[in-house]
Amino acid sequence: MTIANSTSTDDLGSAAQRDRRKRILDATYDLATAGGFDAVQMRAVAEQADVALGTLYRYFPSKIHLLVSALGRQFEETATRLNEREIPGDTQADRVLYVLKRMARGMQGDPKLTEALTRAFMFADSSVANEIHVVGMSMTSIVTHAMHGGVPVEGSITDRDVAVARVLGDVWLSALVAWVTGRSTAAETAAHMDTAIHLILRD
Amino acid sequence: MTIANSTSTDDLGSAAQRDRRKRILDATYDLATAGGFDAVQMRAVAEQADVALGTLYRYFPSKIHLLVSALGRQFEETATRLNEREIPGDTQADRVLYVLKRMARGMQGDPKLTEALTRAFMFADSSVANEIHVVGMSMTSIVTHAMHGGVPVEGSITDRDVAVARVLGDVWLSALVAWVTGRSTAAETAAHMDTAIHLILRD
DNA sequence: AACAAAACTGGAACGTGTTTCTAATTATGC
DNA sequence: GCATAATTAGAAACACGTTCCAGTTTTGTT
Protein backbone atom coordinates (compact mmCIF):
# COMPACT_ATOMS: atom_id res chain seq x y z
CA MET A 1 0.00 0.00 0.00
CA THR A 2 2.56 2.51 1.07
CA ILE A 3 5.54 1.25 -0.86
CA ALA A 4 5.54 0.18 -4.46
CA ASN A 5 8.10 1.69 -6.75
CA SER A 6 6.85 0.09 -9.92
CA THR A 7 8.33 2.27 -12.61
CA SER A 8 5.26 1.85 -14.71
CA THR A 9 2.39 -0.52 -15.18
CA ASP A 10 4.24 -2.97 -17.42
CA ASP A 11 6.19 -5.04 -14.85
CA LEU A 12 8.34 -7.48 -16.72
CA GLY A 13 8.94 -11.07 -15.71
CA SER A 14 12.25 -11.69 -14.04
CA ALA A 15 12.58 -8.01 -13.42
CA ALA A 16 9.78 -8.43 -10.93
CA GLN A 17 11.79 -11.05 -9.13
CA ARG A 18 14.85 -8.87 -9.07
CA ASP A 19 12.68 -6.14 -7.71
CA ARG A 20 11.34 -8.35 -4.98
CA ARG A 21 14.75 -9.49 -3.89
CA LYS A 22 16.02 -5.97 -3.84
CA ARG A 23 12.95 -4.67 -2.06
CA ILE A 24 13.38 -7.33 0.59
CA LEU A 25 17.04 -6.56 1.18
CA ASP A 26 16.31 -2.85 1.25
CA ALA A 27 13.55 -3.35 3.79
CA THR A 28 15.87 -5.50 5.87
CA TYR A 29 18.50 -2.83 5.73
CA ASP A 30 16.09 -0.09 6.73
CA LEU A 31 14.57 -2.02 9.61
CA ALA A 32 18.00 -3.08 10.88
CA THR A 33 19.28 0.48 10.69
CA ALA A 34 16.31 1.77 12.64
CA GLY A 35 16.01 -0.88 15.32
CA GLY A 36 18.68 -3.56 15.14
CA PHE A 37 18.32 -7.31 15.15
CA ASP A 38 15.06 -7.45 17.05
CA ALA A 39 13.40 -4.96 14.76
CA VAL A 40 14.04 -7.10 11.72
CA GLN A 41 10.87 -9.11 12.14
CA MET A 42 9.93 -11.29 9.25
CA ARG A 43 6.35 -10.00 9.16
CA ALA A 44 7.63 -6.44 9.19
CA VAL A 45 10.14 -7.11 6.43
CA ALA A 46 7.45 -8.73 4.31
CA GLU A 47 5.06 -5.87 4.84
CA GLN A 48 7.62 -3.16 4.15
CA ALA A 49 8.90 -4.99 1.07
CA ASP A 50 5.29 -5.45 -0.01
CA VAL A 51 5.50 -9.21 -0.38
CA ALA A 52 3.70 -12.01 1.42
CA LEU A 53 5.40 -13.77 4.29
CA GLY A 54 5.58 -17.00 2.32
CA THR A 55 7.29 -15.19 -0.52
CA LEU A 56 9.88 -13.74 1.81
CA TYR A 57 10.66 -17.26 2.95
CA ARG A 58 10.92 -18.38 -0.63
CA TYR A 59 13.69 -15.88 -1.22
CA PHE A 60 15.45 -16.29 2.12
CA PRO A 61 14.90 -19.49 4.06
CA SER A 62 15.46 -17.86 7.44
CA LYS A 63 15.99 -14.56 9.18
CA ILE A 64 19.67 -15.41 9.49
CA HIS A 65 20.05 -16.04 5.77
CA LEU A 66 18.34 -12.75 5.15
CA LEU A 67 20.57 -10.74 7.44
CA VAL A 68 23.79 -12.41 6.38
CA SER A 69 22.88 -11.76 2.76
CA ALA A 70 22.38 -8.12 3.60
CA LEU A 71 25.76 -8.10 5.33
CA GLY A 72 27.34 -9.74 2.31
CA ARG A 73 25.93 -7.15 -0.02
CA GLN A 74 27.31 -4.39 2.16
CA PHE A 75 30.75 -5.99 2.53
CA GLU A 76 31.04 -6.55 -1.19
CA GLU A 77 30.28 -2.91 -1.83
CA THR A 78 32.85 -1.85 0.75
CA ALA A 79 35.48 -4.18 -0.65
CA THR A 80 34.88 -2.97 -4.18
CA ARG A 81 35.04 0.64 -3.13
CA LEU A 82 38.21 0.19 -1.08
CA ASN A 83 39.99 -2.01 -3.58
CA GLU A 84 39.97 0.57 -6.30
CA ARG A 85 41.74 3.14 -4.17
CA GLU A 86 45.29 3.53 -2.98
CA ILE A 87 45.64 2.97 0.73
CA PRO A 88 47.65 5.60 2.61
CA GLY A 89 50.39 4.52 5.01
CA ASP A 90 54.06 3.62 4.84
CA THR A 91 54.01 0.18 6.45
CA GLN A 92 51.68 -2.78 6.18
CA ALA A 93 50.63 -2.18 9.75
CA ASP A 94 49.75 1.43 9.04
CA ARG A 95 47.71 0.59 5.98
CA VAL A 96 45.82 -2.28 7.53
CA LEU A 97 45.12 -0.19 10.58
CA TYR A 98 43.87 2.59 8.37
CA VAL A 99 41.47 0.34 6.54
CA LEU A 100 40.15 -1.57 9.53
CA LYS A 101 39.67 1.56 11.58
CA ARG A 102 37.86 3.10 8.69
CA MET A 103 35.54 0.14 8.44
CA ALA A 104 35.03 0.11 12.18
CA ARG A 105 34.16 3.78 12.15
CA GLY A 106 31.71 3.22 9.35
CA MET A 107 29.99 0.44 11.23
CA GLN A 108 29.97 2.34 14.47
CA GLY A 109 28.16 5.11 12.71
CA ASP A 110 25.27 2.70 12.19
CA PRO A 111 25.26 0.82 15.47
CA LYS A 112 21.84 -0.77 15.13
CA LEU A 113 22.57 -2.02 11.66
CA THR A 114 25.93 -3.34 12.73
CA GLU A 115 24.39 -5.09 15.69
CA ALA A 116 21.84 -6.81 13.52
CA LEU A 117 24.30 -7.97 10.91
CA THR A 118 26.97 -9.07 13.37
CA ARG A 119 24.49 -11.01 15.46
CA ALA A 120 23.24 -12.81 12.42
CA PHE A 121 26.75 -13.59 11.29
CA MET A 122 27.67 -15.07 14.62
CA PHE A 123 24.53 -17.12 14.78
CA ALA A 124 24.77 -18.58 11.31
CA ASP A 125 25.16 -22.32 10.96
CA SER A 126 26.47 -24.39 8.07
CA SER A 127 23.33 -23.89 6.00
CA VAL A 128 24.45 -20.29 5.60
CA ALA A 129 27.94 -21.28 4.49
CA ASN A 130 27.61 -19.72 1.04
CA GLU A 131 26.52 -16.34 2.33
CA ILE A 132 29.21 -16.46 5.02
CA HIS A 133 31.82 -17.23 2.44
CA VAL A 134 31.02 -14.05 0.56
CA VAL A 135 31.64 -12.04 3.70
CA GLY A 136 34.86 -13.87 4.55
CA MET A 137 36.28 -13.40 1.07
CA SER A 138 35.46 -9.70 1.09
CA MET A 139 37.16 -9.31 4.44
CA THR A 140 40.28 -11.17 3.35
CA SER A 141 40.35 -9.21 0.13
CA ILE A 142 40.15 -5.92 1.97
CA VAL A 143 43.00 -6.76 4.34
CA THR A 144 45.35 -8.23 1.77
CA HIS A 145 44.70 -5.28 -0.49
CA ALA A 146 45.63 -2.96 2.33
CA MET A 147 48.76 -4.93 3.09
CA HIS A 148 49.92 -4.37 -0.44
CA GLY A 149 49.12 -0.71 -0.43
CA GLY A 150 46.60 -0.87 -3.18
CA VAL A 151 48.70 -2.54 -5.83
CA PRO A 152 46.35 -4.68 -7.86
CA VAL A 153 48.99 -7.24 -8.77
CA GLU A 154 47.37 -10.58 -8.11
CA GLY A 155 50.43 -12.80 -7.95
CA SER A 156 52.02 -10.84 -5.15
CA ILE A 157 49.61 -12.15 -2.51
CA THR A 158 51.25 -15.03 -0.68
CA ASP A 159 49.78 -17.74 1.49
CA ARG A 160 51.21 -15.97 4.47
CA ASP A 161 49.38 -12.79 3.50
CA VAL A 162 46.12 -14.67 3.43
CA ALA A 163 46.88 -16.29 6.78
CA VAL A 164 47.63 -12.91 8.31
CA ALA A 165 44.48 -11.48 6.83
CA ARG A 166 42.41 -14.32 8.27
CA VAL A 167 43.85 -13.89 11.73
CA LEU A 168 43.28 -10.16 11.64
CA GLY A 169 39.78 -10.78 10.39
CA ASP A 170 39.17 -13.01 13.40
CA VAL A 171 40.41 -10.43 15.83
CA TRP A 172 38.41 -7.75 14.11
CA LEU A 173 35.27 -9.85 14.31
CA SER A 174 35.75 -10.63 17.99
CA ALA A 175 36.37 -6.98 18.73
CA LEU A 176 33.29 -6.05 16.76
CA VAL A 177 31.18 -8.54 18.66
CA ALA A 178 32.48 -7.22 21.95
CA TRP A 179 31.59 -3.71 20.88
CA VAL A 180 28.21 -4.64 19.44
CA THR A 181 27.20 -6.47 22.58
CA GLY A 182 28.21 -3.54 24.73
CA ARG A 183 31.13 -5.26 26.36
CA SER A 184 33.74 -2.79 25.14
CA THR A 185 33.78 0.81 23.96
CA ALA A 186 34.68 2.05 20.52
CA ALA A 187 37.98 3.34 21.86
CA GLU A 188 38.84 0.01 23.42
CA THR A 189 37.98 -1.71 20.18
CA ALA A 190 40.31 0.56 18.26
CA ALA A 191 43.11 0.09 20.77
CA HIS A 192 42.70 -3.65 20.63
CA MET A 193 42.92 -3.69 16.85
CA ASP A 194 45.99 -1.50 17.06
CA THR A 195 47.66 -3.94 19.42
CA ALA A 196 46.79 -6.96 17.34
CA ILE A 197 47.98 -5.44 14.11
CA HIS A 198 51.32 -4.42 15.58
CA LEU A 199 51.77 -7.79 17.18
CA ILE A 200 51.27 -9.55 13.89
CA LEU A 201 52.65 -7.07 11.38
CA ARG A 202 55.90 -5.91 12.95
CA ASP A 203 58.42 -5.58 10.13
CA MET B 1 13.10 -37.28 40.36
CA THR B 2 16.35 -38.43 38.87
CA ILE B 3 18.57 -35.68 40.09
CA ALA B 4 18.70 -34.49 43.69
CA ASN B 5 21.97 -34.79 45.48
CA SER B 6 20.75 -33.36 48.76
CA THR B 7 23.46 -34.36 51.17
CA SER B 8 20.92 -35.07 53.86
CA THR B 9 17.33 -34.41 54.75
CA ASP B 10 17.89 -31.13 56.59
CA ASP B 11 17.76 -28.70 53.68
CA LEU B 12 18.60 -25.33 55.09
CA GLY B 13 17.29 -22.06 53.75
CA SER B 14 19.87 -20.78 51.35
CA ALA B 15 21.06 -24.31 50.83
CA ALA B 16 17.79 -24.98 49.08
CA GLN B 17 18.49 -22.08 46.79
CA ARG B 18 21.97 -23.35 46.14
CA ASP B 19 20.48 -26.70 45.30
CA ARG B 20 18.04 -25.18 42.88
CA ARG B 21 20.70 -23.19 41.15
CA LYS B 22 22.91 -26.24 40.87
CA ARG B 23 20.08 -28.43 39.68
CA ILE B 24 19.24 -25.90 37.00
CA LEU B 25 22.81 -25.66 35.77
CA ASP B 26 23.16 -29.43 35.79
CA ALA B 27 19.98 -29.83 33.79
CA THR B 28 21.20 -27.22 31.34
CA TYR B 29 24.47 -29.04 31.00
CA ASP B 30 22.77 -32.39 30.42
CA LEU B 31 20.31 -31.10 27.87
CA ALA B 32 23.02 -29.19 26.02
CA THR B 33 25.25 -32.23 25.96
CA ALA B 34 22.48 -34.36 24.56
CA GLY B 35 20.99 -32.03 22.00
CA GLY B 36 22.80 -28.72 21.70
CA PHE B 37 21.41 -25.21 21.79
CA ASP B 38 17.96 -26.04 20.49
CA ALA B 39 17.50 -28.81 23.02
CA VAL B 40 18.02 -26.46 25.92
CA GLN B 41 14.39 -25.45 26.09
CA MET B 42 13.38 -23.51 29.12
CA ARG B 43 10.38 -25.72 29.84
CA ALA B 44 12.58 -28.79 29.55
CA VAL B 45 15.24 -27.32 31.82
CA ALA B 46 12.62 -26.41 34.40
CA GLU B 47 11.10 -29.85 34.30
CA GLN B 48 14.39 -31.71 34.52
CA ALA B 49 15.63 -29.45 37.31
CA ASP B 50 12.30 -29.98 39.05
CA VAL B 51 11.47 -26.30 39.37
CA ALA B 52 8.68 -24.21 37.91
CA LEU B 53 9.26 -22.17 34.80
CA GLY B 54 8.83 -18.94 36.72
CA THR B 55 11.44 -20.06 39.20
CA LEU B 56 13.89 -20.81 36.44
CA TYR B 57 13.43 -17.27 35.19
CA ARG B 58 13.96 -15.95 38.67
CA TYR B 59 17.39 -17.53 38.78
CA PHE B 60 18.37 -16.83 35.18
CA PRO B 61 16.64 -13.99 33.38
CA SER B 62 17.07 -15.55 29.96
CA LYS B 63 18.19 -18.64 28.13
CA ILE B 64 21.38 -16.83 27.19
CA HIS B 65 22.20 -15.98 30.79
CA LEU B 66 21.61 -19.57 31.67
CA LEU B 67 23.90 -20.99 29.01
CA VAL B 68 26.65 -18.44 29.49
CA SER B 69 26.60 -19.16 33.20
CA ALA B 70 27.02 -22.83 32.44
CA LEU B 71 29.90 -21.99 30.13
CA GLY B 72 31.49 -19.84 32.82
CA ARG B 73 31.30 -22.64 35.34
CA GLN B 74 32.99 -24.99 32.92
CA PHE B 75 35.72 -22.54 31.94
CA GLU B 76 36.53 -21.78 35.55
CA GLU B 77 36.93 -25.45 36.26
CA THR B 78 39.18 -25.88 33.24
CA ALA B 79 41.27 -22.85 34.17
CA THR B 80 41.69 -24.07 37.73
CA ARG B 81 42.66 -27.52 36.61
CA LEU B 82 45.14 -26.30 34.00
CA ASN B 83 46.67 -23.62 36.19
CA GLU B 84 47.87 -26.01 38.82
CA ARG B 85 49.86 -28.06 36.36
CA GLU B 86 53.11 -27.54 34.54
CA ILE B 87 52.62 -27.03 30.83
CA PRO B 88 54.91 -29.07 28.58
CA GLY B 89 56.78 -27.36 25.72
CA ASP B 90 60.03 -25.49 25.25
CA THR B 91 58.77 -22.25 23.74
CA GLN B 92 55.81 -20.02 24.49
CA ALA B 93 54.32 -21.00 21.15
CA ASP B 94 54.60 -24.70 21.96
CA ARG B 95 53.01 -24.34 25.35
CA VAL B 96 50.15 -22.13 24.21
CA LEU B 97 49.50 -24.43 21.30
CA TYR B 98 49.48 -27.38 23.67
CA VAL B 99 46.91 -25.81 25.95
CA LEU B 100 44.61 -24.44 23.28
CA LYS B 101 44.64 -27.66 21.30
CA ARG B 102 43.89 -29.53 24.46
CA MET B 103 40.92 -27.32 25.17
CA ALA B 104 39.75 -27.58 21.60
CA ARG B 105 39.97 -31.34 21.74
CA GLY B 106 38.01 -31.37 24.95
CA MET B 107 35.27 -29.24 23.47
CA GLN B 108 35.20 -31.22 20.24
CA GLY B 109 34.58 -34.31 22.31
CA ASP B 110 31.28 -32.76 23.37
CA PRO B 111 30.18 -31.10 20.17
CA LYS B 112 26.56 -30.52 21.14
CA LEU B 113 27.51 -28.97 24.43
CA THR B 114 30.12 -26.81 22.79
CA GLU B 115 27.67 -25.69 20.18
CA ALA B 116 25.15 -24.65 22.77
CA LEU B 117 27.61 -22.75 24.91
CA THR B 118 29.41 -21.05 22.05
CA ARG B 119 26.17 -19.96 20.44
CA ALA B 120 25.00 -18.47 23.67
CA PHE B 121 28.30 -16.71 24.20
CA MET B 122 28.20 -15.14 20.77
CA PHE B 123 24.62 -14.07 21.20
CA ALA B 124 25.04 -12.45 24.57
CA ASP B 125 24.48 -8.74 24.90
CA SER B 126 25.62 -6.30 27.55
CA SER B 127 23.13 -7.57 30.11
CA VAL B 128 25.26 -10.71 30.27
CA ALA B 129 28.48 -8.74 30.76
CA ASN B 130 29.21 -10.22 34.18
CA GLU B 131 28.90 -13.80 33.05
CA ILE B 132 30.94 -13.04 29.94
CA HIS B 133 33.64 -11.46 32.02
CA VAL B 134 34.12 -14.68 33.96
CA VAL B 135 34.71 -16.54 30.73
CA GLY B 136 37.08 -13.93 29.35
CA MET B 137 39.18 -13.87 32.52
CA SER B 138 39.44 -17.63 32.58
CA MET B 139 40.57 -17.65 28.97
CA THR B 140 43.21 -14.97 29.50
CA SER B 141 44.39 -16.74 32.61
CA ILE B 142 44.79 -20.01 30.78
CA VAL B 143 46.81 -18.51 27.96
CA THR B 144 49.11 -16.37 30.10
CA HIS B 145 49.71 -19.31 32.37
CA ALA B 146 50.70 -21.39 29.38
CA MET B 147 53.00 -18.67 28.10
CA HIS B 148 54.90 -18.80 31.36
CA GLY B 149 55.11 -22.54 31.43
CA GLY B 150 53.18 -22.95 34.61
CA VAL B 151 55.18 -20.68 36.85
CA PRO B 152 52.72 -19.18 39.27
CA VAL B 153 54.70 -15.97 39.78
CA GLU B 154 52.15 -13.22 39.43
CA GLY B 155 54.44 -10.28 38.78
CA SER B 156 55.98 -11.84 35.72
CA ILE B 157 52.90 -11.32 33.58
CA THR B 158 53.34 -8.18 31.54
CA ASP B 159 50.82 -6.03 29.73
CA ARG B 160 52.10 -7.44 26.50
CA ASP B 161 51.42 -10.97 27.73
CA VAL B 162 47.85 -10.06 28.43
CA ALA B 163 47.51 -8.39 25.04
CA VAL B 164 48.85 -11.47 23.33
CA ALA B 165 46.54 -13.68 25.33
CA ARG B 166 43.55 -11.56 24.36
CA VAL B 167 44.39 -11.68 20.69
CA LEU B 168 44.89 -15.42 20.80
CA GLY B 169 41.65 -15.76 22.68
CA ASP B 170 39.91 -13.86 19.91
CA VAL B 171 41.34 -16.08 17.22
CA TRP B 172 40.50 -19.14 19.22
CA LEU B 173 36.92 -18.00 19.66
CA SER B 174 36.47 -17.21 15.98
CA ALA B 175 37.92 -20.58 15.05
CA LEU B 176 35.63 -22.26 17.54
CA VAL B 177 32.61 -20.50 16.12
CA ALA B 178 33.59 -21.51 12.60
CA TRP B 179 33.91 -25.09 13.74
CA VAL B 180 30.72 -25.10 15.79
CA THR B 181 28.70 -23.69 12.93
CA GLY B 182 30.07 -26.29 10.56
CA ARG B 183 32.04 -23.85 8.46
CA SER B 184 35.40 -25.50 9.12
CA THR B 185 36.62 -28.91 10.20
CA ALA B 186 38.45 -29.77 13.40
CA ALA B 187 41.68 -30.15 11.44
CA GLU B 188 41.29 -26.75 9.81
CA THR B 189 40.59 -25.23 13.20
CA ALA B 190 43.78 -26.73 14.62
CA ALA B 191 45.83 -25.59 11.63
CA HIS B 192 44.45 -22.11 11.92
CA MET B 193 45.34 -21.91 15.59
CA ASP B 194 48.80 -23.16 14.76
CA THR B 195 49.27 -20.44 12.18
CA ALA B 196 48.00 -17.69 14.44
CA ILE B 197 50.14 -18.73 17.38
CA HIS B 198 53.29 -18.87 15.30
CA LEU B 199 52.50 -15.54 13.71
CA ILE B 200 52.16 -13.89 17.08
CA LEU B 201 54.60 -15.82 19.24
CA ARG B 202 57.70 -16.08 17.07
CA ASP B 203 60.68 -15.68 19.36
C1' DA C 1 -5.21 -18.38 -27.40
C1' DA C 2 -5.12 -22.35 -24.23
C1' DC C 3 -2.93 -24.77 -20.97
C1' DA C 4 0.56 -26.30 -17.36
C1' DA C 5 3.90 -24.98 -14.16
C1' DA C 6 5.71 -21.82 -11.14
C1' DA C 7 5.31 -17.93 -8.17
C1' DC C 8 2.63 -15.11 -5.18
C1' DT C 9 -0.94 -13.77 -1.68
C1' DG C 10 -3.38 -13.88 2.57
C1' DG C 11 -3.96 -15.95 6.53
C1' DA C 12 -4.12 -19.59 9.87
C1' DA C 13 -1.45 -22.36 12.88
C1' DC C 14 2.51 -24.24 15.54
C1' DG C 15 6.76 -24.08 18.64
C1' DT C 16 9.49 -22.00 21.89
C1' DG C 17 11.31 -17.90 24.60
C1' DT C 18 9.32 -14.80 27.69
C1' DT C 19 5.87 -12.49 30.67
C1' DT C 20 2.24 -12.40 33.88
C1' DC C 21 -0.95 -13.78 37.40
C1' DT C 22 -2.78 -16.28 41.45
C1' DA C 23 -2.66 -19.52 44.93
C1' DA C 24 0.15 -22.43 47.68
C1' DT C 25 4.28 -22.96 50.35
C1' DT C 26 8.27 -21.60 52.91
C1' DA C 27 11.19 -18.53 55.54
C1' DT C 28 11.69 -14.71 58.93
C1' DG C 29 10.78 -11.54 62.76
C1' DC C 30 8.15 -10.70 66.96
C1' DG D 1 3.06 -19.77 67.66
C1' DC D 2 1.73 -16.45 64.56
C1' DA D 3 1.76 -12.54 61.16
C1' DT D 4 4.10 -11.04 57.32
C1' DA D 5 7.14 -11.18 53.52
C1' DA D 6 9.56 -14.06 49.98
C1' DT D 7 9.66 -17.72 47.28
C1' DT D 8 7.75 -21.20 44.43
C1' DA D 9 4.41 -23.81 41.67
C1' DG D 10 1.25 -24.02 38.05
C1' DA D 11 -0.78 -22.44 34.21
C1' DA D 12 -2.32 -19.24 30.91
C1' DA D 13 -1.11 -15.87 27.54
C1' DC D 14 1.83 -13.23 24.38
C1' DA D 15 5.57 -12.50 20.64
C1' DC D 16 7.95 -13.77 16.83
C1' DG D 17 10.27 -17.26 13.72
C1' DT D 18 8.63 -20.67 10.91
C1' DT D 19 5.49 -23.81 8.35
C1' DC D 20 1.55 -24.83 5.70
C1' DC D 21 -2.30 -24.39 2.63
C1' DA D 22 -6.05 -22.84 -0.68
C1' DG D 23 -6.79 -19.83 -3.99
C1' DT D 24 -5.01 -16.45 -7.41
C1' DT D 25 -1.77 -14.41 -10.60
C1' DT D 26 2.17 -14.62 -13.52
C1' DT D 27 5.22 -16.97 -16.69
C1' DG D 28 6.50 -20.04 -20.28
C1' DT D 29 5.20 -23.36 -23.96
C1' DT D 30 2.79 -24.97 -27.81
Q: Higher pLDDT residue, A125 or B4?
A: A125
Which of B68, B92, B100, B122 to mutate: most A Cβ within 10 Å?
B122
pLDDT of A13 higher than 50: no
| Residue nearest D6 (alpha carbon to C1') | B13
Q: Nearest CB to B167: which of A124, A169, A199?
A: A199
Q: What is the pLDDT along chain B (203 residues), one digit of tens a residue?
A: 332 333 333 333 455 566 889 999 999 999 999 999 999 999 999 999 999 999 999 999 999 999 999 888 888 888 888 888 889 999 999 999 999 988 888 888 989 998 888 888 888 888 888 888 888 888 888 889 998 886 656 667 888 888 899 999 889 888 888 888 888 899 998 999 999 999 999 87
Which nucleotide lies nearest residue A52, CA to C1'?
A: C9
The pLDDT score that the predictor gives to residue A95 is 92
Domains defined for chain A, CATH in brackets = 63-200 (1.10.357.10)
Q: How high is the pLDDT of residue A153?
A: 62
| Chain B CB within 8 Å of residue A165 CB | no
Q: Does A162 touch chain B (CB under 8 A)?
A: no
* Å between CA of B62 and C1' of D7: 19
**A51 CB closer than 7 A to any strand C atom:** yes
Task: Kindly identify which residue of chain A lies nearest to residue B175, measuring between CA atoms.
Answer: A170
Three-state SS string over chain B comes to: CCCCCCCCCCCCHHHHHHHHHHHHHHHHHHHHHHHCHHHCCHHHHHHHHCCCHHHHHHHCCCHHHHHHHHHHHHHHHHHHHHHCCCCCCCCHHHHHHHHHHHHHHHHHCCHHHHHHHHHHHHHCCHHHHHHHHHHHHHHHHHHHHHHCCCCCCHHHCCHHHHHHHHHHHHHHHHHHHHHHCCCCCHHHHHHHHHHHHHHHCCC
Instruction: Rank A12-16, A74-78, B195-199 by mean pLDDT and report only the highest.
Output: B195-199
Q: What is the pLDDT of residue A54?
A: 96
Q: What is the pLDDT of residues A100-121, one digit of tens each?
A: 988 888 888 999 998 998 888 8
Q: What is the reported pLDDT for A151?
A: 65
What burial letters (b/e) apply to A154-189, b meaning 16+ CB within 10 Å? eeebeeebbbbbbbbbbbbbbbbbbbbbbbbeeeeb
More confident residue, B2 or A26: A26
With an 8 Å Cβ cutoff, are A125 and B200 in contact? no
Torsional class of B192: left (φ above 0), alpha (ψ -120 to 50), beta (otherwise): alpha
Nucleotides of C under 7 A from a protein CB: 7-12, 16-22, 26-28
What is the average per-residue pLDDT within A123-128? 86
* pLDDT recorded at residue A90: 92
* Spatial CB neighbours of A85, under 8 Å, sequence gap ≥ 6: A150
Asked whether residue A21's C-beta has any atom of DNA/RNA strand C within 7 A, the reply is no
Task: Provide mean pLDDT across the span A155-178.
Answer: 87
Those residues whose beta carbons lie under 7 A from strand D are A 11-14, 16, 38, 40-43, 53-54, 57, 61-64; B 16-17, 20, 50-55, 58-59
B173 and A CB contact within 8 Å? yes
Single out the residue of B138, B125, B126, B165 nearest to residue B83, CA to CA.
B138
Residue A12: per-residue pLDDT: 38
pLDDT reported for residue A93: 92
- Residue predicted with more confidence, A66 or B148: A66
Set of chain A residues whose Cβ sits within 8 Å of the Cβ of B169: 174
B123 inside 8 A of chain A by CB: yes
Q: What mean pLDDT value characterizes chain A?
A: 85
For residues A134 and A72, is the Cβ–Cβ distance under 8 A?
yes
pLDDT of B128 = 87
Query: For residue A1, is pLDDT > 60?
Result: no
Instruction: Name the nearest CA neighbour of B136 among A177, A196, A105.
Output: A177
